[in-house]
Amino acid sequence: MFGYLAVEGIRHTRNLKMYCLRLLVLAAIMFAGNALFGWALQSNINNNVIFTLSMGVVVIALVIWGKEKKNTFPYILAGICFAVGFLFGEWGTVLLPFMTVTYFLRDKRVFLCIGYAITAVIAFLVPWGEPWWFIVFPFIVLYNGERGLNTRFTKYFFYVFYPLHLWIIAIIRQ
């Protein structure tokens, strides 16, 4: 669901560069916080789906900018970011293909379904894949496509909530 909402964020944002920057900064904060809490709790905390989401958003943004500028360099960077997120990101094997398919094939239903089917095959075949990702589809189908409440609170709530709740869970678990 995070991947779908990140793609919707690309469609609804007024400033794609700032959206990319916010996600990249949050991913860095999560890396630092995970390292700090992992050290303090003598535990290994390495969940950072925000990194994977940021790679997906950056990949899509680079392709958009490559089309606008008619330049191949953004495409090369997009390929590198895709590979990094795919190989090293949490849920990367599913999330990155899902996000790119969702964004670039959103108006082509048949190809969208084929892209999702290929993503499902990848999820089941790759040993570290996430085979239960398709549970999100009922929620996507129920989404009406309209932007929700748009306040400063709602804009930044999940940027704070996501890392904070994971760190609280790690403290409670310890």
Residue 54 in this model has a pLDDT that exceeds 90: yes
> Residues near 31 by Cβ (< 8 Å), separated by ≥ 6?
48, 51
Query: Would the pLDDT of 9 be above 70?
Result: yes
Segment 137-148 shows an average pLDDT of 81
Instruction: Give residue 24's pLDDT band: very low, low, confident or very high (50, 70, 90).
Output: very high
Mean pLDDT over 132-159 rounds to: 81
| pLDDT for the residue numbered 20 | 95
* Of residues 105, 95, 82, 170, the one with CA closest to residue 132: 95
Global pTM reads 0.85
pLDDT at 82 over 90: yes
What is the secondary structure of the chain as a DSSP string? Answer: -HHHHHHHHHHH-S-HHHHHHHHHHHHHHHHHHHHHHHHHTTS-----HHHHHHHHHHHHHHHHHHHHHT-SHHHHHHHHHHHHHHHHSTTHHHHHHHHHHHHHTTT-HHHHHHHHHHHHHHHHHSTT--TTGGGGHHHHHH--S------HHHHHHHHHHHHHHHHHHHHHH-
Question: Who wins on pLDDT, 37 or 53?
Answer: 53
How far apart (Å, rounded) are the C-alpha atoms in residues 131 and 150? 33
Q: Residue length, the chain? A: 174
Domain count, the chain: 1
58 contact partners, CB below 8 Å, separation of at least 6: 20, 23, 24, 78, 81
**In terms of Cα–Cα distance, which of 98, 65, 104, 85 is closest to 24?**
85
Range of the domain at 48: 2-173
Average pLDDT over every residue of 131-137: 76
